[in-house]
Structure 1
């Protein structure tokens, strides 16, 4: 159910091959969610400018059913910005993260929604 999606102008060949698999346990740990439900995706090679330059930059979205909030998002932002900067070389000053708290009825899985699955 949690999904951390990054769109970046960094080229595919500069994205570490193991980035998404390394990011999953980090995402699961900070959100306190089972890793088998976590998704991390990177969309590279996006024509993108941040602040008028095309130096490495990104936008990201963290979607989760619950676990998001004012105080929690500060913790998540710290960890996720560090992850992206260390692994993808995108400075935290050249990226935004939006936090999206979805109702369980708005996320489908395995032919139904999490609202039904979570009862």
Structure 2
């Protein structure tokens, strides 16, 4: 159910082929969620300017059912900004992450919602 989506102006050719595989366990550990439910997607080659500069930059969204909040997001931000900087070369002052805590009834899976799956 967690989804970390990154849009970046970094060219596809400069994104490590293993990035999404490396990012899933990082995301799962940070959120305390099973890896089998975690999704990481990256959209490269986006025409993007941050602060008027086209140096490497990104915009990201982290969606999860729970495990997000004011204090939790500070910890998630630290881990995710470090990952993106190390793997993609996007500095932490060249990216925003928005955090989206979705109710279980608003996330579908296997023909139903997590609300039904989790028995809520």
TM-score with structure 2 setting the length: 0.99
Q: Which residue of 1 aligns with 2:19?
A: 19
Q: Which residue of 2 aligns with 1:53?
A: 53
State the alpha-carbon separation in 1 of the partners of residues 96 and 63 from structure 2.
Answer: 14
Structure 2: tracts of 5 or more residues without a match: none
Q: CA deviation at 1:90?
A: 0.2
Q: CA RMSD in A?
A: 0.3
Return structure 1 stretches of 4+ with deviation > 4 angstroms.
Answer: none
Q: Which residue of 2 aligns with 1:78?
A: 78
Q: CA deviation at 1:101?
A: 0.1
Q: CA deviation at 1:34?
A: 0.3
State the alpha-carbon separation in 2 of the partners of residues 48 and 110 from structure 1.
Answer: 35
Structure 1: tracts of 5 or more residues without a match: none
Q: CA deviation at 1:74?
A: 0.2
TM-score with structure 1 setting the length: 0.99
